[in-house]
Amino acid sequence: FKAFMEELFELHGSPQLIQCDNAKIFTDIFKEWLENRVPPISHRNSDTGRPNQNVQVERSNCTTVKHQTTRDI
């Protein structure tokens, strides 16, 4: 996962902030990895029960998964 994220950052630049839903994949290890990068990347979870905050996140996830899936074929 980290290698994939590094590839995305290399292609598109490193973001200042990543907002995620409350999925279990976004553990403290992931958050620590983001914060220890140079420059550091802030991490924020969307509020539970607020799907309107997840619209952009879910769309981005869909696009990212589709890109990764088609790339691996």
Q: What is the DSSP string of 9-73?
A: HHHH---SEEEE-S-TTS-HHHHHHHHTSSS--EEEEPPTT-GGGTHHHHHHHHHHHHHHHHHH-
Q: What is the pLDDT of residue 2?
A: 80
pLDDT tens digits, one per residue of 34-63: 889 888 999 888 887 776 777 776 777 777
The CA dihedral of 34, 38, 55, 61, to the nearest 10 degrees, is -70
Percent over 90 (pLDDT), the chain:
12
Please report, as a single letter, which amino acid is at residue 5. Answer: M
Beta bridge partners of 18: 43
Q: What is the pLDDT of residue 47?
A: 81
Confidence grade of residue 72 (pLDDT, cut at 50, 70, 90) = low
CA distance 62 to 69: 10
